[in-house]
Structure 1
């Protein structure tokens, strides 16, 4: 195993350790990828380190870090080109690798620029949506307050009218009740007094009639008694005188 193979094994191990699922270390992974970009490889190295090539192929879609995606894509294309160009133990020239690196960097720069523009448009769209949402909420709040105030005003007027109506009816009922009771009391009082007066009048007339009747009978009896006694005395007197004359 050559020194290059040992370096590739170490770099591959650093990449896998730095991107553990439970605690990924983005900065350490970027350092390992930078070290890999400085290593000159042949097609034989690429064949012997197929696991490293597979790891770089997966890192092209590592969405947790855009720089890792960019560097992994560049290195994967570099190793692929090394495998296609190199024959046997032929070493890939540094000039060719440098040209490939510049080309890939230009492509990545363009892609990053396009991504930045797309991200900017998305942020602008999100800002527009956010402001539209705020305007909508403010309008709904204003409309809700207006509806609430109108309902409160209508409810207040309705309650006021109902209270006035109930109060008026209650006053009218109380007045009717008081008036009816007053009329009934007055009628009862007038009726009682009238009955009392009529009874007193009838009683007085009855007493007077009874007294007159009793007085007339008493006078009549007294007169009859006095007349009878007077007649009796006169008869007795006349009879006595007649007897005395006859005896003479």
Structure 2
């Protein structure tokens, strides 16, 4: 993939390296997350190298840290503001934190691009923003091999609307005396988000599933919402 002269990609994160270089975390189709270095003066002549803009990149080098030889704008940047912008920053940070470097992936790039499109179309942050984030989180977990079945429990029995469930690691939802109501699990699986309790349930479940992958270090982007 990296032998291709130009590759579409997005910048997930950037940080300074000395005075004249930046280290970029890039998301590329099929390749996944890649680290690359670019000279600032070259970047200023071509593009601003900001997140949320589709770029066309030429990468060289066989080491883990690639070099950006050329970069061009592929499409205008997504216009994201306020909580929508913070949400997109959260998605970027989440990928950087839990997706292994150079782990090939068939769907992550298109999933990311679709999520940015969904965020850019948000008009009601209360009703639309959280479903966008939850759908991305659960899809990302599935890409990492963490299966989530919203219709049947760990033993293969159908989820019952009035039954309570807890998450059994690496196995699925398990009937329990306390926990999440089955109807909310069914709603999440069917992408029915109008019920605020369903949205709250989805947020709690995403936190439970992401916690082992994120570890103790808090996400910096979460502080922006405060």
> What TM-score do you get using the length of structure 1 for normalisation?
0.20
Higher share in helix: 1
Higher share in strand: 2
**Max radius of gyration: which structure?**
1
> What TM-score do you get using the length of structure 2 for normalisation?
0.21
